[in-house]
Structures are given as structure tokens and as C-alpha cells.
Amino acid sequence: MALAAVVALIAGVLAGTSSASQAAGSLPCDLYASGGTPCVAAHSTTRALYSSYNGSLYQVRRASDSATKNIGVLSAGGYANAATQDSFCTGTACVITVIYDQSGRGNNLTQAPPGGFSGPASGGYDNLANATAAPTLVAGHKAYGVFIAPGTGYRNNHTSGIATGDAAEGMYAVFDGTHVNGGCCFDYGNAETDSHDDGNGTMEAIYFGTSKSWGYGSGNGPWIMADLENGLFSGVNQHLNSGDPTINHRYTTAVVKGGANKWAIRGGNSQSGGLSTFYSGVRPSVSGYNPMKKQGAIILGIGGDNSVSGQGTFYEGVMTSGYPSDATENSVQANIASVGYGNGSGTSGALAPGSRTSLRATTSCCTTDYVTHDDVDTDVVLSPVTSSSSATVKADATWIVRAGLANSACVSFESANKSGQYLRHYNYKLQLAAIDGTSTFSQDATFCPQPGHNGQGYSFQSANYPEKYLRHYDYDVYIAANGGSNSWDSATSWSDDTSWIAAQSWS
């Protein structure tokens, strides 16, 4: 670990882990500046990337009245003020409209326009990200990442200071290593200013995912690759470079940098340890990539030509002017690891991991009914429980809160009387099932608490279907969207049916 990072870490420890900001000069863009390769774009919905940054991180827009709100930091150089978003978005849906550039160059990211491909939104624009779909913790503070479902994308085609031609640049991003796919192309970085494929070498972005359409590395992916246009490169060769490993940490740091006939791929675990170099050398052995013809737009979540089939989650990232040294990047990684992405419990009070609770409905029909599992089968239903109910029924309606199996900022519910069995959805219906170790199970059993949609208690967002929330419907329990093709997606009384009191447990 670099000396500066050690000093920052000690300062952080002395200040206490709940400190809302970090030692001056220790944040990623401070470190790139000291290394002589300053940030020319700095994007994050979770924290400041300069120790002096005290502005807005991003903007959200709510569905109820289309009003927008800027989300800032808790203090200069600190973490996102997610509570502002939670109160602004209570009872409605919010999307992320702007991801502000902290570098002062105005390189903000907004809804991507159509290009070689059109997005699904009006006018061929891409969708905007659901603002609550990627909850996380950073230094113990709740924050939200940018959840890119296929069709979602951000872009800036009129930038300032971003590398063009064969000029040198660096970039890193922190992604969710478990939210990936093989579509083209979940990217962050430099792309064409006209949103079209302008030929080999007209872009240079970090790609993260499992696409094997162009290049790939060892194992099954995901891989960090460089999207250089008409090619995702894992090394000097066109297809397989086995030096580029599968990397899928829950929080993954991905680095790509490029200069005159040189480039590199690096990566690591954002929660601990350093960066490894997966490739460092000359430009690919395919014509058109040396010299490069970078155009200097910035993309997030899409390919250079606005291909919109990729998915992933972005927490923070920057682009620099100049080719950063490995040492500078290593100190940036030390800073990322020191902030503790995902560490600790995102929930407290009735939903603190280890506590027991019973989930009571708030709809007027049902205020003495609870989420209960059957004794005879694996069904989960909404059922009345009173002080005179049997001990078995009381235990059937009692849940032990666990840190979310797929996301520790969220929760999972283990049955109080069927140890190792969890509340999970299957075909959108809730059932009780034994933990099976698959990532589908973990996601199906993870729910992210938000303020209750009707102003009471909590609403529990599905970790893998973020538009759906835990809902009772006709005394069964589902994950349900507010309007949709299934009967239980009915918009009638959706807010009430998706709002739950985490009550004192019955057993």
C-alpha cells in the first residue's frame, strides 16, 4: 500500500469509521492529480472523488410529478446523501437523470441519444436507470449505484478535456461483478461523438461482462476488456488472451489506459487488496488500432454506436488526461478499498441482521395479517395471527433478518422454525426454500428495504427485479410491479399492499 494511502487509512481510523469525509488529498482525483494525470471527468453516485468536492453527485426525477432533485454529499469530500433521495422518492418511482462531473469540466452524463442503434425510450433515446435498484453501503453510509438494465444508457457527446486521437488517457470504474451479461456492451469511457461506429480505434472504453463476440479471457467471465470499436480486446490478440482472468468480485475495480502504441488492463477487488495487471503492452495485432482515433465522447452502459444490450452496475469512475502510472492507480485502489463498499449492515432497528420480526400488512383489509409460511407445504401466504394463535402459527409468522444473501445493504428473511430456509420468489410468488448456494437463489431471496410506499413501514424491493416489491394479493404473497401483465401487478392498492410494518416478532 502506498504511503499516502496508509496515512489516509490511519487518519480515517482516528477520525472514526462513521466520519463523513476522508483525509484531504486522499481521494481518487486528488491522487491522479498528484501523479500528474488529472481527472478530466469524475462520476459517482456514491461519494465525492475529490476531497474538496462539495457539489451535487447526481440528479433524480420522480414519476409522480416529474420534479427533479439534486443529490449531494453529506460533507465536502464525503458520501452521498441518500436520505434526500429516499424522502424525495417516497411513494413514487425515481430515475437518475444526470450524473454530474466532479472535475469542473462539465462532462456530465445524461440520457443517451439514438445512434447506430436506437434505445427503447421516446425518440430512440435510451432508458434512464431506476434510482433505487442498486443500493449499497459506502463507509457504512447508504448510497445508490447506477443500475444499467439492457436498454439503459448515459452519454456526453460534447465533452471538454477528454483525450482525442492517439492522446493518452486512463480510466477506472467500480462495478458490481455479479450483475453482468454477454450483450453489447456495458462500457464506461471514451467513444464516438456522433454515437455511430466510426471504425476501428474510434473509441477506448472499459468493457465489463461476458461477451465472447470479439475478445475474451480465461474461464467463463466476466472479463475486463477494452472496447476499442469493432472489438473488445482482452490483450494483444484478437480473440482469447488467457492472461485476462474471470473477475467477479461483488465490487470489482476495473482499469483501462491507453497511449501511443501502449495500453493496459488492470483489475482487483474493490473491497480489499491491490490491482493486478492483466495486460500491458503494445496495441492489438489487428489493423486500425494504432494509432488510435479517439473522439472523446463519454459513454456509460452502452457501446460506442449506442448498442443497448449490455447490463451492469456502476458506482464510481473517472477518466484522466495522460497515462496514469501503476503506482498512482495502486493508491487509487487503496483508497477505494479503504472506504468499505458493502461493509456492515445497511439496515438497523427492526431490520438489523440477527433481529426477529413479523411482517404485518398495512392495507385496511388486513392490518392483523402477517407473512406466514404453511406447515404442510412451501407456500407463503398472508394470514391472521393473534396472541391466541398456536405457537406453531406464531413461529410460522416469524422471520430472522439476515444480511441480504446477494447484497449486504439489503436483507433476507430466514424462517424462525425452519432453519436454513428462506423467503424467496419463484415465478414471482413467494415460497419457503432451503438455501441452495446458487446466485439465482441469493437474488430471489434478497429484498432491499425502502420507506413504505404508503408512508407506513417499509417496502421491500426485489434485488433481481427492481421494479417489483413484496406484495400481498388475494392473501398470497408475490413480488409485484405497479401495473403489469400478472393479476398481482394490479395498480389498485399497490402502495398499500407493498407497505409492511416490521413488527415485534410473534415468537
Residues that bind ligand AHR (CB under 6 A): 184-185, 197, 227, 229-232, 303-305, 307, 425-428, 440, 444, 464
* Catalytic residue (one of 229, 396, 414, 467): 229
Task: Considering the complex, state which of residue 316 and residue 444 has its C-beta at the smaller distance from ligand AHR.
Answer: 444
Task: Considering the complex, state which of residue 23 and residue 206 has its C-beta at the smaller distance from ligand AHR.
Answer: 206
**Amino acid identity at 39:** C
**Closest separation in Å from C-beta 440 to ligand AHR:** 5
Q: How many CA atoms lie within 13 A of 30 on its CB side?
A: 19
Phi, psi angle pair for 332, to nearest 5°: -65, -45
Q: Which residue's Cβ has the minimum distance to ligand AHR?
A: 303
**Closest separation in Å from C-beta 92 to ligand AHR:** 24
65 is catalytic: no
What is the distance, to the nearest Å, from the Cα of residue 436 to the centroid of all Cα atoms in its chain?
Answer: 24
Task: Considering the complex, state which of residue 48 and residue 185 has its C-beta at the smaller distance from ligand AHR.
Answer: 185
Task: Considering the complex, state which of residue 349 and residue 420 has its C-beta at the smaller distance from ligand AHR.
Answer: 420
List the grid coordinates of 32: 491522479
**Closest separation in Å from C-beta 229 to ligand AHR:** 5
Q: How many C-beta neighbours within 10 Å does residue 9 have?
A: 18
Task: Considering the complex, state which of residue 159 and residue 464 has its C-beta at the smaller distance from ligand AHR.
Answer: 464
> Which residues touch 232 (CB under 8 Å, ≥6 apart)?
185, 207, 211, 213, 214, 215, 216, 225, 226
Phi, psi angle pair for 437, to nearest 5°: 80, -5
Contact yes or no for 264/299 (Cβ under 8 A): no
List the grid coordinates of 455: 408512508
Phi, psi angle pair for 251, to nearest 5°: -120, 115
Decide the pairing of beta strands 146-148 and 312-321.
Answer: antiparallel
List the grid coordinates of 11: 487518519
Q: How far apart are CA 424 and CA 443, in angstroms?
A: 8
Question: If you search the block for the grid coordinates 434505445, which residue do you land on?
Answer: 119
Task: Considering the complex, state which of residue 426 and residue 475 has its C-beta at the smaller distance from ligand AHR.
Answer: 426
* Catalytic residue (one of 305, 396, 444, 496): 305
Task: Considering the complex, state which of residue 48 and residue 430 has its C-beta at the smaller distance from ligand AHR.
Answer: 430
* Phi-psi category of residue 354: left, alpha or beta, with phi > 0 → left and psi -120 to 50 → alpha: left
Task: Considering the complex, state which of residue 93 and residue 184 has its C-beta at the smaller distance from ligand AHR.
Answer: 184
**Closest separation in Å from C-beta 43 to ligand AHR:** 19
**In the structure, how many helices (H) and strands (E) does the chain have?**
7, 32
**Closest separation in Å from C-beta 231 to ligand AHR:** 5
**Closest separation in Å from C-beta 175 to ligand AHR:** 16
**Amino acid identity at 483:** G
Decide the pairing of beta strands 399-403 and 411-415.
Answer: antiparallel
DSSP per residue, 271-316: TSS-EEEEEEESPPSSTT-SS--B--EEEESS-TT------EEEEE
**Closest separation in Å from C-beta 323 to ligand AHR:** 21
Q: How far apart are CA 101 and CA 38, in angstroms?
A: 13
**Closest separation in Å from C-beta 68 to ligand AHR:** 30
192 is catalytic: no
Q: How many C-beta neighbours within 10 Å does residue 367 have?
A: 12
What residues are labeled active site?
A: 229, 305
